[in-house]
Structure 1
Amino acid sequence: MTMLRPAYSTPAQITTAMKAQAALTGGAKVYAAHCAYCHDSGFAPSITGRDMPAAAIAGIVRLGPGGMQAFPESQVSDADITALATYLNGLPAAVKSTPGGES
């Protein structure tokens, strides 16, 4: 039987991995609470997998461009935006559908 080595061998690597996982979990919660209603329904464009810097996402969240609602820090904290950016950038880009329903 072959033994697999753990992907993380030092306490620092484990801590880094745990923080990244927590950000993904937190980012998913932020997305579900504030973004998914419009961005998953087709009402607003998909925002996944665009590899945008957290600062750019923060500007969008705070200013609410176009018809998007602006979210003040009292609704979405800076830490939530950082977690959201990590989550969004970790997802694959959305596949655009053609009018015939094919991807």
Structure 2
Amino acid sequence: MNKEEILAKSRQENKNRDVAEISQTKDASRFAIIFSLAFYLIFSTLTMIAHKPFNSSIAAMETCVMFAVYLYKSIKTRKSEHIVCAVLIGAAFLMFSFVAIMDLFKK
């Protein structure tokens, strides 16, 4: 293969996106997940310190993001560890969502 063929194949694989841009987007996504998880942990800790009821809707939103990440990974890679994480986090997401919906409609 010559240089032009390699470049054409690379462009086709990356759909004409810059490799640095793809890497930056992945890093930004990872940072966003870690940042939101840190916020969730801090907020949950402050809720316990203030002796207030647990806010399950925030837990549902956080687990929804993590579930989406691992569901995508498990579909793309079919690795058993990603599938297990997707199932476990999916179960937590369903549980928190159920509790949040029950709290929402509680009279």
Q: Specify the TM-score bucket, using the shorter chain as the normaliser.
A: 0.3 to 0.5
Where is the helix percentage greater, Structure 1 or Structure 2?
A: 2
Q: Greater Rg, structure 1 or structure 2?
A: 2
Normalised TM-score (structure 1): 0.36
Normalised TM-score (structure 2): 0.35
